[in-house]
Every structure is written in C-alpha cells, then in structure tokens.
Amino acid sequence: MIKPDRDLIILGAGPAGLTAAQYGSRANLQVTVIEELSPGGQALFIDTLENYPGNIVKGTAAPKSGFELAQDMHRQAEDFGAAFITETAGSLKKEGELFRVTLGSGNTLTALAVIVATGAKHRKLGIPGEEEFAGRGVSYCASCDGPFFKGKKIFVIGGGDAACDEAQFLSRLSPAVAVLHRRDRFRAQKALAERVLSNPRIEVRFNTRLREIRGDQKVTALMLENTETGESYREAGDAVFIFAGTLPQTAAAPDVPKDENGYILTDQAMATSVPGLFAAGDVRSCPFRQVVVAAGEGAVAAHSAAEYIDRIKAVSG
C-alpha cells in the first residue's frame, strides 16, 4: 500500500471536528484537521453555553462562551498532537485504500480515514432586501452584531432553538425585541420557548411572515404578512436577525447517502457507507443538534476511525 501523508484527516473544526482531533491524537493517530475559518464552527456564535455539561455551576467562575470553549478545545487537540491547516477542502476521493483531499490551493493530502465534520450554515430566506441589507441591519448572529443595535427596534425571525436563544440575548441589549414566527407555535425546546414567551422585553408574534426588508443606507422597515388574515403591513425597525434553520455543508463528500434534508447518513459508529469515511456533528443526520452531541459524535467517529485504521494497517502489514 502507498504510504499516506497522515492516518486521519478531519474536515471541519467545529465541536465535532475538534473533539475527533483530540480523541484521534490521543489514540496515537497522526491527525490533520482542515478548516477554512477559525476553529469553533457554529459554537463561535453562542454567547452563553448554558446546556454544555459542567459549564454553568452556581457559585463558580462565569461560564465559557462558545468562543472560549472552542479555543480551549482547539488548544487541547493541538496539545495532543493534531495539526491544523486553514484552507478549503475542495474535493475528497477514495483511491484504493487511500483518501485524497484536494485543498483550495491545489495541494493534496492523503490519509487512511476521513471524518467529515463540516457542519451546517444558516439558511437564508431569499426575500427582497435580505442580500442588499446584509451587514447593514440584516444579521444571522446576535452575539456578533447585536451590540450595534443597543436600545433599537430589533426583529428576530424563526421559531426554533436558535431564534429563542438569540432573542433572549438580544433582549439584554434592547427592550424592543419582536420574535416573528410563521406558525402558531414554537419549534424550540419547551424551556427556551417558555423563557421567551415570559420575557417582558420580547414581543412574540405568531402567524407572521417576513416578506421584504426595506431601507436606504440601512434597514428602516419590514414588510410583514399576517398569515391568518392575509393582511400585509409595514413596520419600522432597525435590525432583523434571521434564524431559519441550517443547511448541511456536504460539498466535500457529494457521493455518500444523505437523508431527505441533505444530512449525511451514518450508522451508530458514525461510519458512512464508504469504508473509512465517517461523519460527525451538524453535517450528520441527527434529530438533536447540540454542541454536546457534536462533541460526543466526534469522539465516537475518532474511535471508529482508529479501529478501522488499525485493521487496514494490520492487513497491509
């Protein structure tokens, strides 16, 4: 067998990729992580990680933010020996027993196993004004852009965990936050939804659709529709934070089976249908996307990859 450059390549450095890197390196594998942005993935945008085990304990130090947790996970993986490359993974091919990853620069890297942990990105609404006012009142990250709109009229779009979490955060910056959701009830976990519903600084408006974002230099108003009555109306405002779900980032692995929403299917060992190819975290088909779940899946994927690599090495001597 041709000698690979590394034992294991991990695509993506969110909580799944970082945990896989740590577990893989601790299992004595030569691990390289390829990430196009800063390590941390979607966790970078979480202000308070209140549901990560052990992160909030009354009477002890302040909880880590998603950014701080990601930094620590990155350092821990590096300390165990994982290498990090900041580049886009252009394509992934299997050639015999070897996987070849072609980077955006055109360089290639080979390994015996690959873990796809490329995560998911924000879904856009595709309505007029969304692109035009991006960065000028339209945002997908409350902790990044919320502070620009202190005391202003802020709208939050969506009814999932992200919308509820981020509305809570924004309500600390402004007493005029309105959550607009297209249906008559939240999709979010009950605890998050109830906190939003009982927050006096948040107005919740169900059965409301955002049709258009208007402004001049920046956002000044939204065109809204009451989905029960069909009535359309204009409402003045300064910012709109959109949390309409996520889209899996699977460009590097187009040929593996996916579920109906495009998320990669694996077995419980995180193995895809391609031997040696594993997936973990938000890119994987899973009903509950959480930092703790991604980290757990990363650990399982690294363990499974290590077993697979041992078997390949034993067979090929």
Judged by CB under 6 A, the stretch of 25-33, 107-115, 252-260, 286-294 that binds ligand NAP is: 286-294
How far, rounded to the nearest angstrom, does the alpha carbon of residue 147 sit from its chain's CA centroid? 22
Buried b (16+ CB within 10 A) or exposed e, 86-111: eeebeebeeeebbbbbbbeeeeebbb
Counting contacts by CB under 6 A, is residue 125 touching ligand NAP? yes
Positive or negative CA dihedral for 287, 291, 292, 298?
positive
Nearer to ligand NAP, 162 or 196 (CB): 162
Find the binder of ligand NAP among 177, 213, 244, 283 (CB under 6 A). Answer: 244
Residue 168's nearest CA partner among 184, 185, 154 is 154
145 among known catalytic residues? yes
DSSP one-letter string for 62-95: PPPPHHHHHHHHHHHHHHTT-EEEES-EEEEEEE
* Residue 182 C-beta: closest distance to ligand NAP, Å: 5
Residue 34: CB minimum distance to ligand NAP, A: 23
We find the least distance from the C-beta atom of residue 159 to ligand NAP, in angstroms, to be: 3
Which residue is closest to ligand NAP by CB? 160
Token readout for 49 is: 């990680």
What is the per-residue binding string for ligand NAP in 186-225, x denoting contact by CB under 6 A?
Answer: -x--------------------------------------
Calpha distance 315→252 (Å, rounded): 28
Binding flag, residue 243, ligand NAP (CB under 6 A): yes
**Known catalytic membership, residue 144:** yes
**250 within 8 A of 243, measured Cβ to Cβ:** no
51 counts as binding ligand NAP under rule CB under 6 A: yes
How far is residue 279's CA from residue 308's CA, in Å, rounded to a whole number?
Answer: 14
Kindly state whether residue 289 participates in binding ligand NAP, applying the rule CB under 6 A. Answer: yes
The single residue of 141, 165, 282, 286 carrying the catalytic annotation is: 141
Q: Does 246 sit near ligand NAP (CB under 6 A)?
A: yes
Tokens encoding 12? 């993506």
Q: Which of 144, 184, 255, 267 is catalytic?
A: 144
What is the token pair recorded at 194? 């109830």
Catalytic residue numbers, as ranges: 141, 144-145
The site for ligand NAP (CB under 6 A) is made up of 51, 125, 157-163, 165, 182-183, 187, 243-246, 288-290
